[in-house]
Amino acid sequence: MTSEILYESPNHKFIYIGKDVDRPDYIIDTNQYLLIHDDVATIIDPGGIEMFSSVSSAFAGEVRMSNVKFIFSSHQDPDVVSALALWLSITDSKIIIDRIWSSFISHYGAKPNNMIMVEDGGMKFNMAKDYAFDIIPAHYLHSPGQLNLYDPISKILFTGDIGAALIPKEDLKSKRRPNVFVKDFDNHIKYMEFFHKRFMPSNEPKKIWIDRVSKLDVEMIVPQHGLIFKGKDMVNRFLNWFDSLNLGIYSK
């Protein structure tokens, strides 16, 4: 596993873990994140059941499992949260997810008393005594109940499947340490295009989302697959590219 500290101050940390070059070819590559403020931690999109042992041992080097109080799930997909039952067995945490998926993720072991259901409009979430992150709606991109997380301290926007890229495994293996950040945006487009066009239904939710996130001060866009868009220039390049892309029913 490759890890990278995306932001660090004495009481606040945003950590990336992913690019597992040993994963089998038939499993999609996922990015996992850990947000720590004081002694409270949130795991962001913990990943699939097959990733649990490598992700949990990587996170155990960063945080005490007893300090993990929340698991943020951008949406209901198995690559996002099928390991939920295992995470709930080693942490005393609550799962944060869009209300429409609450009864579905019960199949992953969640129960009403350990769920925080988010309404359509999103919310500010008080994670620690003096710290809150923003839960931002990103519905239909691609899941009809998709949530983003914005950390106002690091100015990192976690976008779930928005900005996702499927990087060929050979590309990851060819380097001593896999890239974490997008270096060449134009070259990166080919890894993103199909997913956004095929999995996202139409342009309307995209316009609403771009309008919404354009009002935020974003230093980094961190997706659930692929590479991170670091710096305002890269963030804007991604938003401009996404804005001009025809999705779903418009993509023919």
Binding interface with Fe ion (CB under 5 A): 77, 79, 161, 224
Which lies closer to Fe ion via its Cβ, residue 17 or residue 63? 17
How far apart are CB 45 and Fe ion at their closest, in Å? 8
For tokens 């697959």, what's the residue? Answer: 225
Which residue's CB is nearer to Fe ion, number 28 or number 65? Answer: 28
Nearer to Fe ion, 63 or 158 (CB): 158
Listing DSSP states for 52-65 in one string gives HHHHHHHHHTTS-G
- The CA distance from 108 to 153, in Å, is 32
Minimum CB distance to Fe ion, residue 23 (Å): 14
Q: Residue 15 burial (CB < 10 Å; 0-12/13-18/19+)?
A: buried
Name the minimum Å distance from CB 248 to Fe ion: 14
CB of 117 to Fe ion, least distance (A): 19
Burial class (CB in 10 A: 0-12, 13-18, 19+), 78: middle
Q: What are the tokens at 248?
A: 């779903």
Nearest-CB residue to Fe ion?
Answer: 77
CB of 160 to Fe ion, least distance (A): 7
CB of 195 to Fe ion, least distance (A): 9
d(CA 52, CA 86): 7
In the complex with Fe ion, the residue whose CB is nearer, 63 or 172, is 172
When the beta carbons of 122 and 223 are compared against Fe ion, the nearer one is 223
Nearest to Fe ion of 80, 180 (CB atom): 80
Backbone angles phi, psi at 137, to 5 degrees: -65, 140
Count the residues in the chain: 252
Cα dist from 179 to 2, 8, 26, 77, 169, whole Å = 9, 20, 21, 25, 12
